[in-house]
Amino acid sequence: MSLDEAAPRYGYIWEYRSDADPWDTERVPQWTQYSSATSLAIENAKNQQSKEIFIENNYRIDLEKYVQQHTIDLH
């Protein structure tokens, strides 16, 4: 079984909020699924009680606060 098939089969799909302005409370949230391979990596890190995971060389996910941060973001 490939990684892309694994996540949905085991019942978890990780998503991120992909609105133009995710902090705008007036808009309906828009969510986008991570790839199955990325979802599997996040789920494995969470199950291993990791505090964070780095994905796609550009993003850090805080697994305690459930926040994704662009690693090049200077703010």
Burial of 14 by CB count in 10 Å (0-12 exposed, 13-18 middle, 19+ buried)? Answer: buried
Extents of the domains making up the chain: 31-74
At residue 11, the pLDDT reads 72
pLDDT in tens, 12-64: 889 998 888 878 888 888 999 998 889 999 999 999 999 999 998 889 999 99
pLDDT at site 56: 85
Q: Is the pLDDT of residue 68 over 80?
A: yes
Would you put residue 56 in left (φ > 0), alpha (ψ -120 to 50) or beta? left
The pair of three-digit structure tokens given for residue 53, joined into one six-digit string:
């995971």
